[in-house]
Amino acid sequence: MSDDAFSACLIRWQQKHGRHDLPWQQTRDAYRIWLAEIMLQQTQVSTVIPYYSRFLERFPTIEALARSALEPVLELWAGLGYYARARNLHRCAQVIVTDCAGQFPKEAQAIAELPGIGRSTAAAISVFAFGQRAAILDGNVKRVLARCFGIEGFPGSATTQKEMWRLADALLPARNIGAYTQGLMDLGSTLCSRRKPFCNACPMHEICIARREGRQAELPVAKPRKVLPERETGLLILTDGNRVLLERRPPAGIWGGLLTLPEGGVAEARELTRRYGCRLLAMQALLPFRHTFSHFHLHIQPLLCRVEVKTRLVAEAGWQWLEYEAIETAALPAPIRFLLRTMAQRVGQEAQE
């Protein structure tokens, strides 16, 4: 099958069988398309849709997002993970408003120079917002190309990625670039899935090398596995029964800009109670658990510290008491939210006893 035949087949399939009713497909607004593309990175469509709607209710324009402080942005992002996306989204909005008069550039190359926007995301924005002819290469597209054209090598390696970009550029059609680009996304996410692909329904059924050779499970080549280092930390849950003491992480790094529990053990717990005018009533070690980041495993030992607040507190910068009822809407990392949600349920049960 020639490059032109591949793109024509994909366009016909997308127009008849592809997705057409996603919220961000009903607009040419670059801001809304950009927001969707960022949220969809490493996140399923079904998860993104409610976040996308809530975010636009709070920030209907890029100017509204740029004017906002970072904390409300992180609060709306809480639960989506990969929080650097939210920080870059906020920074990018400020750059576009300040340096670009609130308007996205139209060319993919120019869009890719903005904070937090890579080559593939820039191409998707330029295609869907401005009808530009540009190639995308996200995880779904890499899987489609690797299987259809039998591309060996891990897609994340420089050599394989260069080969895939060359192919992605060569396959671009002269017309219907929007349907073609959406078709690649749809094919990778609905039929050419990582596990149990629906090969018989695929428009590339006859030309797919992986299907013909029975190598769907082998292509694309998996990332070489490496042993992740193990780390340990203690987390302090200082609570008066209604609130819990939290600190805001620095903007960069793990959980950057989010509220989280302070780290430490018994000595640090006693110091915090003194600093905030509390009387320490009891301490109890809770069951430890493990959270895995992309580059290490973190073993967490929570320490529950029940306190009585003796003085009216003026919170230091970066520290605050959070009401249990605000746990679901606060900008908390997923494992911290889960831990505090469990604590809130425990406190509620104790109150009823």
Catalytic residue among 37, 206, 323, 325: 37
Q: Is 37 a catalytic residue?
A: yes
DSSP code for 196:
S
Tokens of 223: 């990332």
21 Cβ contact list (under 8 Å, min separation 6):
none
CA distance 300 to 235: 7
- Is 111 within 8 Å of 99 (Cβ atoms)? no
CA distance 212 to 149: 11
DSSP code for 251:
S
263 Cβ contact list (under 8 Å, min separation 6):
233, 234, 235, 236
Instruction: Write down the residue that tokens 């809530």 correspond to.
Output: 54
3-state secondary structure of 147: helix
CA distance 128 to 146: 24
CA–CA–CA angle 121, 122, 126 (5° rounding): 120
3-state secondary structure of 233: strand
- C-alpha distances out from residue 56 to 24, 76, 117, 257, 295, Å: 11, 10, 19, 21, 32
DSSP code for 254:
T
Active site members = 37
